[in-house]
Amino acid sequence: MEMVVNLFWDKWAEEALSKLESLKVLRSLRPIHLIPSQTQSDELVFYDGMRQWDRASVEVQISEPTYQKWLQDISSAGDEDDIAEDDEETGVSGGKYKKLLIFSGNDYLGLSSHPTVIKAAIKAAQEHGMGPRGSALICGYTNYHRLLESSLADLKKKEDCLVCPTGFSANMAFITAVASVGLLLAGGKPKNDERVAIFSDALNHASIIDGIRLAEKQGNLVNFVYRHCDMFHLNALLSSCTMKKKVVVTDSLFSMDGDFAPIVELVKLRRKHGFLLAIDDAHATLVCGETGGGAAEKYKCESDVDICIGTLSKASGCHGGFIACSKKWKQLIQSRGRSFIFSTSTPVPIAAAAHAAVTVAKKETWRRKAIWNRVLEFRAMTGIPITSPIISLIVGNEEKALEASRHLLKSGFHVTAIRPPTVPSNSCRLRIALSAVHTQDDLRKLITALSKCINFQEIGFNFSTNYSAKL
């Protein structure tokens, strides 16, 4: 059945590309080669363990006015530092500062402060300025973007890759492009059975949901939502659907819940039903798998995932998004993905930094080992059976979540309360994210603070794999 899956979607993609070519709207990417300076070394430097600069990704400070507004949950536009008196000792505006340890970020490997990543951005900025000069399809696509795409395609074991301005735009571009297949093949508004049927996990990221809503409104797509990670429900929906062009899209590691999608079961259903499988690998890329290939590498099914979407703003510590796929799908997405076509390209220094970050993450394997050691240590210290660096502690209503967040803030930890509309009103939570550059001592201090506002003995499972906590 796997060969049939690939043949069906390959055939539809080819037909859609032929249609675009006949309409003379098949878009092309032509890298502008920016001439590098010969006076600076391009050699990348790697390290075998944590260094002092790594802590910059988890240690921050906030001004006293900001701190007080946060404690009181007062709405802010972020301008309180503008009117604060200058600090007499430091000469820095904003008065006194409070140091915080971040346990709420997504810089999972601590690469945002890595000297090699910083050097790559500085060098590109000094030689070429910020750029970009326009959208990728006009004049904003350079050899730096192409180099980044090649490294990501290699990481994901895909034929090619398309770099997008953000992870949000990457999901939007893929969804709108795949939804256009029915429209292109029908030569006009598709009939009901000619449209694309997309099956989406109930807890998928907002960018997936918004992409589906847009395509659905245009009449190119029919949306089916299956219960979170429920393969019985998904199988039932697939079995009852008579439409031929089926797509299943899911987060691989859910950002607000910390659980993995059942990738192996999805692969089995893919072989049974012949759908196109797309995963949003934002939170697993560079974190999971022996080489950092993500969830598909972790579960040893890279060849069974057709489209791998991700971001460069999480473990890469930079900015941007990407879609790793075949050359056919890349051409289709760059020609029909509106959020890609009509967005300004990623600045050259950011592309250079992201490429350096991907390279560093591959080489410095100790970072992946470190973050998974922190996961094991958190489990051992709390008894909470977490399965990823994302720890979702559901505390109930909004006030309880804010109360817990305020307590942690007073204890020196940056852990924000996650509230509606991000999560339902009855499942407000503390979202804790572990990093490779957190230390065991950091964990001990955090858990000590948590134990004063959460009873670990009363934590239990809800309908998914989240953990509900009682204050």
Count CA atoms within 13 Å of residue 344 on its CB side. 7
The whole-model pTM stands at 0.90
Q: Is the pLDDT of residue 287 over 60?
A: yes
- The CATH-assigned architecture of domain 365-471 is Alpha-Beta Complex (3.90)
Residue extents of the structural domains in the chain: 2-33+116-363, 61-102, 365-471
pLDDT, tens digit (0-9, with 9 covering 90-100), for 135-184? 999 999 999 999 999 999 999 999 999 999 999 999 999 999 999 999 99
Strand order across the 307-311 sheet: 160-164, 321-325, 307-311, 276-280, 246-251, 196-201, 221-226
Least confidently predicted of 67-71, 77-81, 116-120: 77-81
Q: Which residues, listed in sequence order, are joined to residue 307 by a DSSP beta bridge?
A: 278
CATH, domain range 2-33+116-363: 3.40.640.10
Regarding predicted confidence, which is higher, 43 or 197? 197
pLDDT score recorded for residue 447: 96
pLDDT score recorded for residue 56: 84
Percent of the residues in the chain that have a pLDDT greater than 70, as a whole number: 90
pLDDT score recorded for residue 400: 87
The region that residue 157 occupies, defined by phi over 0 for left and psi between -120 and 50 for alpha, beta otherwise, is left
Instruction: Read off the pLDDT band of 470 (50, 70, 90).
Output: very low
Count CA atoms within 13 Å of residue 422 on its CB side. 14
pLDDT score recorded for residue 75: 73
pLDDT, tens digit (0-9, with 9 covering 90-100), for 427-465? 888 999 999 999 999 999 999 999 998 877 765 444 344
pLDDT score recorded for residue 36: 67
| Cβ pair 459, 468 in contact under 8 A | yes
Tokens 């509230």 locate to 419
Task: Give the chain's mean pLDDT.
Answer: 89
pLDDT, tens digit (0-9, with 9 covering 90-100), for 263-281? 999 999 999 999 999 999 9
Q: Is the pLDDT of residue 248 over 50?
A: yes
3-state secondary structure 195-219: CEEEEEECCCCHHHHHHHHHHHHCC
| Cβ pair 344, 132 in contact under 8 A | yes
pLDDT, tens digit (0-9, with 9 covering 90-100), for 179-231? 999 999 988 888 888 999 999 999 999 999 999 999 999 888 999 999 999 99
Q: Is the dihedral of CA 447, 284, 263, 249 positive or negative?
A: positive
The three-state secondary structure class of 93 is: strand
CA distance 396 to 468: 8
Element of type H or E holding 413: strand 413-414
pLDDT score recorded for residue 464: 44
Least confidently predicted of 122-131, 240-249, 267-276: 122-131
